[in-house]
Structure 1
Amino acid sequence: MSASKGAVPGLIAAALPVKLAAIELQGVRKEMKTLLVPFVVVSCGLGVAVPAAYADEAADSQAIVESLERLKAGFRDQDATVVREVMTPDAVFVTPLYGAPFTVNQVVRTLIDLEITDDETHSPNVTFMNDDTAFLTFRTSFDGTYSGERPSWSWVFTSSLWKRDGDEWRVSFLQETPIDAPD
């Protein structure tokens, strides 16, 4: 089953492939279909199925954005320890810099090739999928080089999935798409 088939809102289309791939590899595809059907039906009718707010939503939103900024500092400083601490062990990053999905180890190995001089976060938006999972989108103005080359773009739109790990929020999936500079 592919999340790109049918009229599925962007939030769900972006979040489901990660779960589908993990569950299909474990051989429980049938059970996943059973669980997804009501969710997709509800989400198609309402646009997006979002659980009701809970008491710590504002604090958790702030904590997620702070974790994002810590991750970005780890990239700027080429600090593998910080990058590993903020990413889940099974995290996947897809950016135009890498040209392919990268695991945590691949991301860390290429830190030395990355030189960032500007990566300001703009318009962060957190949507909670449940108390322990959130979808974060934002825009970033980017200036820097990767493997000595300056990219042809200077802005990216980022979609990312964050999971609570004890008292911390860690990124498990991140995808960047080059965009035109906002007006």
Structure 2
Amino acid sequence: MGCVSSKQFKRAAQHEDPAILAKETTFSVSEVEALFELFKKISHSIFRDGLIHKEEFQLALFRNSNKKNLFANRNLFLCENADSVSPQVQIFDLFDLKRNGVIDFGEFVRSLSIFHPETPLGDKIAYLFLSEEAVEQIVDQTFKQADLNDDGKIDPDEWKTFASKNPALLKNMTLPYLKSR
């Protein structure tokens, strides 16, 4: 990943000044400039408009070149089935601060800042607080997926099927340090 100069930001009028973004986030100016290179790559992967659309976000998040999910080790309780409220859509909504269906560079940097190791814990907690509406949507979609026979109930067999398709549900039920070495 190469460096980007402040001149490149000035030419791209739709992007905020890296010095301002650095003041508003935990990132340094050089880190913001490096993030611009990543932003450009993602925002031009499908649509070449300098904004990250949901499809581009999904592509970057789950189909990047090293086949690793950028948030693979984050314990977000979100369904993984594409028919439901998928994690990429929920995470996209966390980045789409303006709620306009796309992520601009400022939103990208401000949202990524929450994952910076120097971001205060209180800021991280507040950022990830889900609204009642979001929680209800996740619960409704989870129930809809798990209730395989549409009888308005989830029996143990249906839950077993659902949990096997969504292994992240059970991840917190395992203490890896108890595993024999």
Which has more strand, going by share of residues? 1
Which has more helix, going by share of residues? 2
Q: TM-score by structure 2 length?
A: 0.28
